[in-house]
């Protein structure tokens, strides 16, 4: 007996079968594409590290440029000392942060990240056997989600050499301007620490005419107050004592 193709049960059955087939195809595609996505994500991070360091070459071999110029080391966040027991090829600071054995919750959390790992990876730009710049992974909450980027500092530990963001959820045309190279370039040369070695970077509508004050200031993002505040809090947090402050102090003392 032929099935009634207009019956409710037949329509529902067809819809369920199609949904299962489509879900299976999507899952298979996602699984098969994940290795490619992981490779591209790693490449994008390396590109942003090179950009923050000021040595990225458009159209160049990112892997070769990274391997020839960047040294990856692990450090202890609280002391800033090198950590020889961390595998830099597999360590993930974001995942480690929520592991009770590898990280801790933040009581004072201006960047709104919740947790911080006990260790971190830092990327050193080495020229003629000497560390010239260090590129530091940073993250903090913007308007819609966590912003991930890299902050480059001079070997003096006090001068900004570059800033990039490679992942964020900010509003296109507004907060998303954190990824605009022109705006990022305004960070170069800034002196974020005050006389007491406290990070005091601020995003403002009008840069001060006082050069000392202006050294702590960057133009705010128009129409993106909360994103601007997030960037400000993120940079100051990671340059402080809870972040890379101890490491940068050690770096400066080696000069």
Residues 6+ apart with CB under 8 A from 93: 117, 119, 120, 121, 137
How confident is residue 207, by pLDDT bands cut at 50, 70 and 90? very high
More confident residue, 7 or 198: 198
**Mean pLDDT in residue range 67-91:** 96
CB of 80 within 8 A of CB of 250? yes
**Mean pLDDT in residue range 33-41:** 66
Q: Is the pLDDT of residue 64 over 50?
A: yes
Residue 201 in tokens? 């970077």
Q: What's the length of the chain?
A: 255
pLDDT digits (tens, 9 = 90+) for 132-173: 999 999 999 999 999 999 999 999 999 999 999 999 999 999
More confident residue, 48 or 30: 48
What confidence score (pLDDT) does residue 121 get? 98
Q: Is the pLDDT of residue 9 over 80?
A: no
**Mean pLDDT in residue range 98-122:** 97
What confidence score (pLDDT) does residue 1 get? 47
**Mean pLDDT in residue range 104-115:** 96
Measured between alpha carbons, how far is 204 from 228 in angstroms, rounded to an integer? 9
Q: What is this structure's pTM?
A: 0.85
What confidence score (pLDDT) does residue 230 get? 98
Task: Decide: helix, strand or coil at residue 69.
Answer: helix
Q: What is the mean pLDDT of the chain?
A: 92
More confident residue, 34 or 129: 129
Residue 112 in tokens? 């709104």
pLDDT digits (tens, 9 = 90+) for 215-240: 999 999 999 999 999 999 999 999 99
**Mean pLDDT in residue range 10-22:** 79
Report phi then psi at 110, rounded to 5. Answer: -65, -30
What confidence score (pLDDT) does residue 4 get? 61
Report phi then psi at 36, rounded to 5. Answer: -70, -40
Q: Is the pLDDT of residue 36 over 60?
A: yes
Q: Is the pLDDT of residue 99 over 80?
A: yes
How confident is residue 15, by pLDDT bands cut at 50, 70 and 90? confident
Count CB atoms within 10 A of the CB of residue 225.
Answer: 14
Domain spans, the chain:
43-253
Percent pLDDT > 70 in the chain is 93
Q: Is the pLDDT of residue 246 over 50?
A: yes
Task: Decide: helix, strand or coil at residue 124.
Answer: strand
């Amino acid at each position: 007996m032929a099935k009634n193709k207009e019956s409710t049960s037949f329509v529902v059955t067809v819809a369920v079968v199609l949904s299962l087939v489509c879900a299976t195809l999507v899952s298979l595609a996602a699984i098969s594409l994940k290795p490619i996505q992981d490779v591209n994500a790693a490449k994008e991070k390396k590109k942003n590290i090179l950009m923050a360091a000021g040595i990225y070459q458009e159209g160049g071999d990112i892997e070769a440029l990274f391997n020839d110029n960047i040294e990856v080391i692990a450090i202890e966040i609280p002391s800033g000392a090198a950590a020889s027991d961390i595998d830099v090829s597999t360590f993930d600071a974001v995942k480690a942060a929520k592991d009770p054995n590898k990280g801790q919750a933040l009581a004072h959390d201006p960047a709104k990240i919740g947790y911080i790992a006990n260790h971190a990876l830092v990327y050193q730009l080495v020229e003629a056997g000497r560390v010239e710049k260090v590129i530091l992974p940073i993250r903090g909450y913007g308007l819609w989600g966590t912003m991930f980027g890299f902050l480059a500092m001079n070997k003096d530990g006090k001068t900004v050499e570059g800033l990039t963001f490679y992942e964020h959820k900010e509003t296109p045309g507004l907060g998303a301007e954190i990824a605009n190279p022109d705006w990022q370039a305004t960070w170069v040369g800034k002196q974020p620490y005050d006389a007491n070695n406290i990070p005091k970077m601020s995003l403002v509508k009008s840069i001060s005419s006082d050069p000392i004050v202006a050294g702590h200031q960057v133009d705010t993002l128009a129409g993106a107050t909360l994103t601007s505040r997030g960037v400000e809090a993120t940079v100051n947090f990671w340059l402080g004592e809870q972040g890379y402050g101890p490491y940068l102090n050690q770096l400066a003392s080696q000069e």
